[in-house]
Amino acid sequence: MKNIKILFLYPPEQSWPKTMVKPNGSLAYPYLAGALRDINVESSVYDACVGNDDDNLDDFFNKSSELPSGMIRTGVSNERILEVASNFDAIGITSIFSQQETQVLNCAKIIKKKFPNKLLFSGGVNAKSRTFFFFAAGFDVIFTSESEIAIQQVAKIMQKNSDDFSSVGKIYYKNKYGKIIDNSHFGDIILDLDKLPIPAWEMLPNKRYWKIGRPHGGKAEQGKELRYASMMTSRGCPFSCSYCHIAEEVAGSKSGAIGKFRFKSDDRVIDELTILKNKIGAKQVFIEDDSIFGMKRRAIRLLKRIVGFGLDLMDVNGINMIHLVKKSNKPGWMVPDEEVIELLSAVGFKEIVLPFESGNPRIIKKWCSNKLALERFNPGDLIKTIKKHKMYVGTNYMIGFPDETRKEVETTINFAKKMQQYGLDHSNFYLVMPVPGTPIFDYCTKNKHLLLDYNPDKFQWTKANLINTPIPPLELEAIRDKAWNDCNNEKFKQMRKSWVAGSTSKSATK
Ligand code: B12
Ligand code: SF4
């Protein structure tokens, strides 16, 4: 049996000027490395945005370079990436973010050119949706679903010194004649999440992430000690919003039914939290579930067990408004669910960002899974109840859906202004930015709101990217800017303006 070594590489990050670069560190690699550890295959994680103990952060992290696209590249040099890759038989590069695709493809191209015999793997929602570009860049295998099982199968084949992956499901691969074979129609995925490997968090450059101090939500106070990690207690979601990958992760798709809501047992979650606290040394944990309240009773039971655990739970994902309200005595009318809100505070949540999405029931119904009708509850009461429990509360709105009228956008902004009076800490307005792997992306391509030669580098979440819409792009941006200015206080505005790519945060240089 051949000894093999697999590298999981996060490429350098690219970001638009005036946005803050945040290292990736997403959970794919801890899970995949955990799966390989369980079959005694050696693997390693290298994050080319932050490097490892052999790289001096000061040499590159705050010295970003400009790319031909106008974006800013943050990370170690290409030479350093090649040096690291030279020690491995196969290199995996995750591609969950379309906006990082160019860096992923660049890594693949340079590695394949220098080391044509090394195998290149990719996976994640973007890779799965853009296989043509990935194979063209030199990838040999694209994993199309959750891949804890498939990566073990591929590794075992490599141990036999073979590259015949015809028996592995939920992948596309290039065979020895260079032909691309589609095996996405078969293969197993893990439905019982307790059967997932324990994530190998220790393989991430955690100390570097903590030193840089730019976690997901980014609202970390300058100078405050950060020791954060991510975890998931569930996968999937009961909803299927048009702008989300989950809507396409159904039975019969390339990924299979992984959009379905599945969850870990309470004991398993406690085991993972114990590892994060005692072995990894985390103090703050970001729960990255798509829908932590996907089964509300289970979430309440779980959170009650976590109270007093000694970790701050932070959450930027996975709470929908419908989960924060409950039925009242008045038929059809919902009221804040104070038990849940109090519990979130008790368990350590410092912040809740309410995803109102839109002030228009038509938009919520058509594009956002019809989650919660605004006329069925008093959103001001909800904000006041969260504030009562001393949590920071912000809101996010989406404007610029492909068929959204000027009047509907105005309705959302007027709604946002009204919400301000209830003590909101911030309101953010995001322009709809369809990404590959989502129904709204397919809709916009079909209906000519997107150019057919979609280029992820031209897409920017701060820009209006859709064409042939009721509101022209530049006007929509001006509306968004004014709304943001009108709805936020000076303190928040100043903090947001300090989050720029390449900028030095105190904790990054201390
Ligand atoms: C957590 C998260 C983040 C975190 C990530 C950091 C962290 N430490 O976790 C933060 C908050 C930073 C983030 C930011 C953004 N995010 Co986000 N995020 C997620 C989320 C909710 C979970 C990702 C995750 O950990 N999944 C769990 C792991 C286990 O699953 P996975 O990554 O898919 O990996 C599995 C398989 O795909 C496969 N696989 C994946 N990679 C590889 C590689 C190899 C080699 C192999 C073999 C297999 C493989 O195997 C893995 C194990 O089963 C996803 C949605 C989701 N459920 O995936 C959105 C998601 C990835 N985010 C999304 C978006 C849009 C963004 C932002 C652009 C939002 C914004 N406007 O700022 C930014 C982009 C950041 C950037 N750097 O460019 C989109 C991306 C869609 C797209 N086509 O681009 C997603 C899919 C959600 C959606 N709306 O559909 N995000
Ligand atoms: S509620 Fe969130 S996770 Fe669920 S489908 Fe909608 S966007 Fe995706």
If you measure from the C-alpha of residue 289 to the centroid of ligand 2, how many angstroms do you get, rounded to a whole number?
A: 10
Site to substitute for ligand 2 among 96, 125, 233, 240, most atoms within 8 A of C-beta: 240
Q: For 401-463, give the DSSP string.
A: -TT--HHHHHHHHHHHHHHHTTT-SEEEEEE----TTSHHHHHHHHTTSS-SS--GGG--TTS
- For residue 251, give the DSSP letter: T
Separation of alpha carbons 501 and 493, rounded Å: 17
Q: List the pLDDT tens digit at each of the 510 positions of the chain.
A: 999 999 999 999 999 988 889 999 999 999 999 999 999 999 999 999 999 999 999 999 988 899 999 999 999 999 999 999 999 999 999 999 999 999 999 999 999 999 999 999 999 999 999 999 999 999 999 999 999 999 999 999 999 999 999 999 999 999 999 999 999 999 999 999 999 999 999 999 999 999 998 887 655 666 667 899 999 999 999 999 999 999 999 999 999 999 999 999 999 999 999 999 999 999 999 999 999 999 999 999 998 998 888 888 876 567 888 899 999 999 999 999 999 999 988 887 888 889 899 999 999 999 999 888 788 899 999 999 999 999 999 999 999 999 999 999 999 999 999 999 999 999 999 999 999 999 999 999 999 999 888 999 998 888 999 999 999 999 999 999 999 999 998 888 887 766 654 443 332 222
- Rounded to a whole number of angstroms, the CA Rg of the chain reads 23
What is the distance in A from the centroid of ligand 2 to the CA of 467? 25
Question: Measuring CA to CA, which residue among 183, 160, 95, 97 is closest to residue 134?
Answer: 95
DSSP 395: E
- Calculated CA dihedral for residues 435, 438, 444, 445, nearest 10 degrees: 80
Give pTM, 2 decimals.
0.94
Q: What is the pLDDT of residue 400?
A: 97
Nearest ligand atom owner, CA of 260 = 2
Please, which residues have CB within 8 angstroms of residue 499's CB and are 6 or more apart in sequence?
A: 19, 20, 218
Q: Which residue, judged by its Cα, is nearest atom 8 of ligand 2?
A: 244
Distance 401 CA to ligand 2 centre (A): 16
pLDDT for residue 220: 60
Q: Which atom of ligand 2 is nearest to the CA of 291?
A: 3
**What pLDDT, on a 0 to 100 scale, did the predictor assign at position 320?**
86
